Amino acid sequence: MFFLYNLERRLTLHPSYFGKNMTELVTTKLMKDVEGTCTGSYYIISVMDSFTISEGRILPGSGLAEFTVGYRAVVWRPFKGETIDTVVVSVNQHGFFAEAGPLRIFVSAHLIPGEIKWDPNGTPPSFHDEETTIQVGTHVRVKIIGTRAEVGDLWAIGSIKEDYLGYFLPP
Amino acid sequence: MSDPRDHDQPDDSEEEEDFNPAPADASDDEGNGAGDNDEDVESSPRQTRKASPARNDAADDEDEEGEGDEDDVAGNDDDEDEEEEDDEEDEEIQGHRRKRARRKDKRSAFFELEAEVDDEDEDEEDEDDAEHEGFIEHTEAGEAEQFAREDDARHRELDRRREMENDMDLEQEAERLKKQYGNKRSARGMGESAVVPQRLLLPSVDDPSIWGVRCKEGKEREVVFSIMQRIQQKQGTKDELGITAAFERGGPNSVMKGLIYVEAQRQTDILQALEGMLNVYPRTKLLLVDIKEMPDLLRVQKTPTLEPGAWVRLRRPPKHSGDLAQVIDITDNGLEARVKFIPRLDYGLRDDALAATTIDGKRKRPMGPGPKPPQKLFSEVEARKRHPRYITGNPQTNNWQYNGDEFEKGFQVKDIKIQHLTIKDVNPTLEEVTKFASGGEDGVENIDLKSLAASLKDSTINVTYLPGDVVEVYDGEQKGVVGKATNVQGDIVTMEVVSGDLAGQTIEVPTKGLRKRFRPGDHVKVIGGSKYREEVGMVVKISEDRVTLLTDQTNTEITVFSKDLREASDIGGQGSLGQYEMTDLVQLDPTTVGCIVKIDRESMVILDQNGDKRHVMPSQIANKLPRRKLAVAADRNGAEIRPDDVVKEYGGMSRQGKIVHIHRTYVFCHTNATNENAGIFVSKVSNVATISAKGGRINAAANSADLSTMNPAAKRPEAKNNMGPPKQMFGRDRLIGQTVTIKKGGYKGLLGRVKDTTDTHARIELHTKSKIISVAKTDVVVRDSVSGNVIKNYDSRKPGAFGMGRPGGDRAAPDWSNAGGRTPMASAGAGGRTPAWKTPSAGGAGGRTPAWNRNGDGGRTPAWAAADGSRTVNPYDGNRTAYGGSGGRTPAWSSGSKTPAPDSFGHGSKTPGYGGSGSSDPWGSGSKTPYGAAPTPGASGGDSWGYTPGASGGSGAYDAPTPGAGLLGAPTPAAMNAPTPGAYSAPTPGAMNAPTPGGGWQSGWGADSAPTPAAAAPTPAASGFSYAVNAPTPGAWAAETPAAGPRYEDD
């Protein structure tokens, strides 16, 4: 789910950059630092606006100036139980991997309806039943049943073993 | 002795109507019988007080034993106690029935007994009748007799009624007594002893003593049974045994094994009783048990009960020790269990080594008693091969007998003594159990999970609940309740119920009925005895007690019991075994390396360089190869690849992955596309092509300045330190042949001629005497060979101060003053510039360069190299240096007219701006940026070159280098970023290379011949460069030299 989220970040600036355009420098640095990162439970998609840059405080010892920057960002947080549209990126007999933007989701064979069978002999190998085939590139609607945070990344397990989940025609 | 009968009849009647002794007595005349009874009752008190109780008791025991072998031995003891009480009662009240009544109070068997007696009588009558009928006709006499009999019956009925009344009284009496002594009765079972004041029950000195008698270990129970038998045999005979009780506290773990305990009044009774019995040694020293210790002896420990279906481990036979077995049945005496287990058969192959080698590998090691054959289900075919005669059985039921062993459906079935089984902490693993399951018909998995779970529950050690665990009650009253464990004590878990009617309450539940509860998606860690211990993963499926999870490490699915799981907070997991970790590169043998792709508890799987997987133990690994971050190889296109670059296989499976290791010609890569080998694959270096290099990322990052480090544009002072190494002198040292004087040492002041030089020293041929000495170059002063004037600039030709960006210290002040500023800026800008100024500006020129470099990517060097194509660090720095140096060295510039400079620059600097900045300097030309003309941020952003010249060059620009100017260069990273590569790459080769040979070089020559500053001026900038890169000929230097010459003269 996407959110507009007010965040705060501390940035440091070398004294050699002190000057009129510090604000610009700081905001640029902020965007560079946070956009596209994952904090553990959500991804920061984009920094929106409303920068409130505090006065710089000189850090004792180093002479760097520390700014506390408040900003508003578009963040995306995958929730347990959330249903999202994904694209299959890899299929194997244990299940398939799908991606929803930056998030990788694994759908275990246990969480695929029984009638959708693994077919190792197809080219490419796929899961399929009479009507649909799940192979690399297929659009699949998945319900997230668990997420796991790794360093700088998120990773989820999904299920298509429910109504209205699984293969869908991309709009 | 009818006393026993009195005691025992009720019991008998209660159990099954077994009157064996009774009819014999009852068949006597009724009156006699009654009298007998009375007499007996009268005699019993006497007996009680004398020696007879023992006998009584013995008889009693015997009878009880007769009733059932299962009778608790402890029970005998109790009965005996009770008996004494009874005797006392007898004393008080006449009438043997009383006791019976008392005994029967609960069971009301009393009435039944009466009826039985009645029946007996009737039977007898019938018998009598039959006799009469059989032998005598119905006559009058018979009538009379019948009458008499009726009369008799009436009398008896009366008697009975009286007796009944009496009995009723007795019953009341019994009630009374029960009230009075009831406590004792309820305390009979030792299990309840906690309720009753123990001291009331404690044995006293009047009670029989207990002796411990040695016996054979493991035979304790047998001995006790045989004692019982003997008592039975001797009962009623003259030599009844004098012991009142016998019991054992054996067991595999008991400290009292090898002993039986016998209770008797006298020791001789014991000796007598145990005389000639097997496995017991009454002649050894008997241990008299202290009265105080007697109760302890009888303390009951709950022994684990064995039920059919339970899992046990075998201890015997040795071949199977440790094997898992399932209990099929328990024998009646509770001593043996019928178990089934997977046989370890070699079908006779081991008898015959030859056969083992020839016959197919079905079996095993050829010889020796050592190794056990592996567990394998019984195969009739195999058995028939070698021992067709030993096998009998029924193929339909699949039951066989082979070599005296029984096999059912492939499993061996055997009666094994319970003490040879390990019952507690069996801990069957799912793998072991699955073997049993797969033995079922048609191989369908049908594990009896319940019994398995029960066995697992028995081993409480393994089930660990911790506060915070989410648990579910699956058994008992609270079944279905889910809660969170808050406290665990022993095997009681206090849990806070989170859902259902009990929500919010705290209840206590024994662990027996608990299991941990997980939900799909939970992140869990495997603990406990499973082979997957330490794996961490996410739950994907739960059925009953079994949880399937997808491991983080290898993305494989494993199934474990929920008891072996814990909620995991950490990501860690099984990633290492000793010093080895996942994806480590290890040396297997001198020619083989491999990458660890899986780590189990004791072994690991390694993908070797040939792409084969190997299971190895840590001990099989020769050593671990450290990860070489700097390893470099060339891919199939010849491009450089390093660890962390992304490469793709060319052909083959076209796998794409990030390089983990490079070892000689092999690359180990990691891909996310597959789970196989944890995503690791191996390929030849020559078979991969770079997709994206890590260096590329660095370049990208280089585009923006790191704002938490020094602004490169503003960096000045330290720049000098960052200058490259001194320019190597090419060709002939210009010092050679010069006339010099020596400044220091013993030869101080002497004049000489330099014959030869090294980097640091000059060999000087003294004029005064024919001697060549070696003097440090720094210690000589160059003099004009004709005038004798000091030519100070020669210093700069020395390695230390050759203008190659040596620290200012080397560049002695004289240089400055002499040359009028070594840098063009200094000279051009103003003669009056303070060294301080110059220093920065010099830095700006020479030093600026590295600063730029730094800005670029902390090394600029590669970037530069990249930008120019083939340029390497040194040339670059060389250039720079050359700039600074040569620039500085162009006093021509400063002193001379700048006019020619523009000329010479003319072709170098094509920018109109140049004209504007005009004199500013060659830098401008080099950078092509109309620096002077437009000292705008844009221009400065154009690059620091612009900045540099600004500082050095035009006076207007001169202001620039001040912090403000610095900002110009510094300000927006964007500004800097964008132009940087362009500015560099483009102008560099062009501006620098092009003018160099032509303008610089030749003009240099020009300068030489006709010292036009112009020539000199542009030269350095370009020439240095060109020398370094394009034409590192000595000539280049030679060219400069003359240029310098004039300068000196100018000065």
Report the chain A residue with the minimal C-alpha distance to residue B556: A94
> Chain A partners of B540 at a C-beta cutoff of 8 Å?
108, 110-111, 145, 157
Output the pTM of the full model.
0.41
Cross-chain Cβ contact B541/A159 below 8 Å: no
Give the pLDDT band (50/70/90) at residue B363: very low
Q: How far is A74 from chain B (nearest CA, A)?
A: 23
How sure is the predictor about B887, in pLDDT bands with cuts at 50, 70 and 90? Answer: very low
Q: A-chain residues within 8 Å CB-CB of B535?
A: none
Q: Which whole number is the average pLDDT over B911-931?
A: 39
pLDDT at B1024 > cutoff 90: no
Measured between CA atoms, how close is B721 to chain A, in angstroms? 19
* pLDDT given at position B722: 55
How many beta-carbon pairs under 8 angstroms link A with B? 91
CB spacing of B707 vs A13 below 8 angstroms: yes
Q: How confident is the model at residue A83 (pLDDT cuts 50, 70, 90)?
A: very high
Q: Tokens representing B289?
A: 């048990």
Report DSSP state, residue B529: T
Alpha helices in B896-943 (DSSP H): 900-908, 912-917, 922-927, 937-942
pLDDT value of residue A71: 93
Name the interface residues of B facing A (CB cutoff 8 Å).
520-523, 538-541, 548, 550, 552, 555-557, 571, 672-675, 704, 706-711, 714-715, 966-967, 970-974
Confidence band for B196, pLDDT divided at 50, 70 and 90: low
Q: Which residues of B touch A32 (CB under 8 A)?
A: 704
Q: Report whether A133 contacts A161 (CB < 8 A).
A: no
Average of pLDDT values for B648-660? 85
Q: What is the pLDDT of residue B569?
A: 65
**The predicted structure's pLDDT at residue B769:** 84
**In Å, how far is B701's CA from the nearest CA of chain A?**
10
Which of A25, A104, A145 shows the shortest C-beta gap to B707?
A25
Q: Answer with the residue of higher pLDDT: B812 or B143.
A: B143
Tell me which chain A residues have a C-beta less than 8 angstroms from the C-beta of B700.
none
Range in B225-229, B326-330, B560-564 the model is least confident about: B560-564
What's the whole-number mean pLDDT along residues B12-16?
42
How high is the pLDDT of residue B4?
A: 43
Q: How far apart are CA B251 and CA B1030, in angstroms?
A: 97
Of the pLDDT bands very low, low, confident and very high (cuts 50, 70, 90), residue B727 is: low
B896-909: per-residue pLDDT in tens? Answer: 334 443 443 434 33
Mean pLDDT of chain B: 64
C-alpha B964/C-alpha B958 separation (Å) is 11
As a residue count, chain A comes to 171
Higher pLDDT pick, B351 / B697: B351
The whole-number average pLDDT for the span B1030-1048 is 39
| Residue pLDDT, tens place only, A29-80 | 888 888 888 887 899 999 988 678 888 899 998 888 999 999 999 999 999 8
How far, CA to CA in Å, does B114 sit from each of B17, B158, B164, B192?
A: 13, 14, 9, 33
Chain A residues closer than 8 Å to B711 by CB: 14, 16-17
Contact B539 A146 (CB under 8 A): yes
Percentage of chain B modeled with pLDDT above 90: 1
Nearest CA in chain B to A151: B571
List, for residues B76-117, the tens digit of each pLDDT value. Answer: 444 444 444 444 444 444 445 544 444 545 555 555 544 444
Of residues B576 and B438, the one with the higher pLDDT is B576
B538: chain A residues, CB-CB within 8 Å: 146, 148, 157
Q: Which residues in chain A are contacts of B707 at CB distance < 8 A?
A: 11-14, 17, 25-26, 29
| CA B186/CA B201 separation, integer angstroms | 11
- pLDDT attached to residue B917: 38
- Which residue, among A9, A14, A83, A142, would best test binding to B if mutated, counting the most B CBs under 10 Å from its CB? A14
User: Residue B707 is nearest to which of A17, A147, A159, comparing CB atoms?
Assistant: A17
Find the closest chain A residue to B522 by CA distance: A146
Mean pLDDT confidence for B760-769: 88
Collect all residues of chain A within an 8 Å Cβ-Cβ radius of residue B548: 108, 110
Residue B523 has pLDDT above 90, yes or no: no
Rounded to whole angstroms, how far apart are CA atoms B882 and B876? 9
Q: Which residue has better confidence, B950 or B436?
A: B436
Contact check, Cβ <8 Å, B708/A106: no
A26/B707 touch (CB, cutoff 8 Å), yes or no: yes
Q: Tell me whether residues A148 and B967 touch, CB distance under 8 A.
A: no
Q: Are B521 and A80 an interchain contact pair (Cβ–Cβ within 8 Å)?
A: yes
The closest CB to that of A146, out of B523, B556, B974, belongs to: B523
3-state secondary structure of B83: helix
pLDDT exceeds cutoff 50 at B877: no
Mean pLDDT of B202-222: 83
Q: Quick check: B707 and A19 CB within 8 A?
A: no
pLDDT class for B446, splitting at 50, 70, 90? very low
CB B323 within 8 A of CB B405: no
Q: Which residue of A has its CA nearest to B713?
A: A16
Nearest-neighbour CA in chain A from B847: distance (Å): 17
- pLDDT, tens digit (0-9, with 9 covering 90-100), for A88-115: 988 888 888 899 888 989 888 888 888 8
Closest chain B C-alpha to A50 CA, distance in angstroms = 21
B895: enclosing H helix or E strand: helix B891-895
Closest Cβ–Cβ partner in A92, A110, A144 for B548: A110
pLDDT of residue B935: 39
What is the nearest CA distance from B704 to chain A, expressed in angstroms?
9
The C-alpha of A162 sits at a distance from chain B's nearest C-alpha, in angstroms, of 14
Tens of pLDDT, residue by residue over A112-136, are 888 888 888 888 888 888 888 888 8
Least reliable range by pLDDT among B16-25, B28-37, B497-506, B971-980: B971-980
CA dist B64 and B47 (Å) reads 21
Residues of B in contact with A21 (CB under 8 A): 967, 971-972
Question: Which 3 state secondary structure label does DSSP give B729?
Answer: coil
Model confidence pLDDT, tens digit, residues B216-273: 887 888 888 888 888 888 888 888 888 888 888 766 566 777 888 888 888 888 888 8
Q: Do B269 and B243 contact (CB within 8 A), yes or no?
A: yes
Q: Which residue of A has its CA nearest to B969?
A: A17
Mean per-residue pLDDT for B565-583?
Answer: 69
Interface pTM, i.e. ipTM: 0.75
Buried b / exposed e over B192-231, threshold 16 CB at 10 Å, is ebeeeeeeebebeeebbbbbbbbbeebbbbbbbbbbbebb
Asked if residues A32 and A69 have their Cβ atoms less than 8 Å apart, the reply is: no
Q: How far is A60 from chain B (nearest CA, A)?
A: 14
**Model confidence band, residue B448 (pLDDT cutoffs 50, 70, 90):** low
Q: Does residue B144 carry a pLDDT above 90?
A: no
Interatomic CA distance for residues B159 and B368, integer angstroms: 83
Are residues A13 and A82 in contact, defined by beta-carbon separation less than 8 angstroms? no
Write down how long chain B is.
1051
**pLDDT at res. B729:** 58
H helix runs in B3-96, sequence order: 3-15, 21-26, 30-49, 52-67, 73-92
Residues of B in contact with A148 (CB under 8 A): 523, 538, 552, 571
Cis previous bond, B1013, omega within 30: no
Which stretches of chain A sit within 8 Å of chain B by CB? 11-14, 16-17, 19-21, 24-26, 28-29, 32, 64, 80, 89-90, 92, 94, 97, 104, 106, 108, 110-111, 144-150, 157, 159
What is the mean predicted confidence (pLDDT) over B391-402?
82
Verify whether the Cβ–Cβ distance B540 to A157 is below 8 Å. Answer: yes
Q: How confident is the model at residue B675 (pLDDT cuts 50, 70, 90)?
A: confident
pLDDT at A73: 93
Which residue in B521, B555, B557 is closest to A146 by CB distance? B521
With bands split at pLDDT 50, 70 and 90, how would you rate the model's confidence at B386? confident
Residues B55-79 have pLDDT tens digits of: 444 444 444 444 444 444 444 444 4
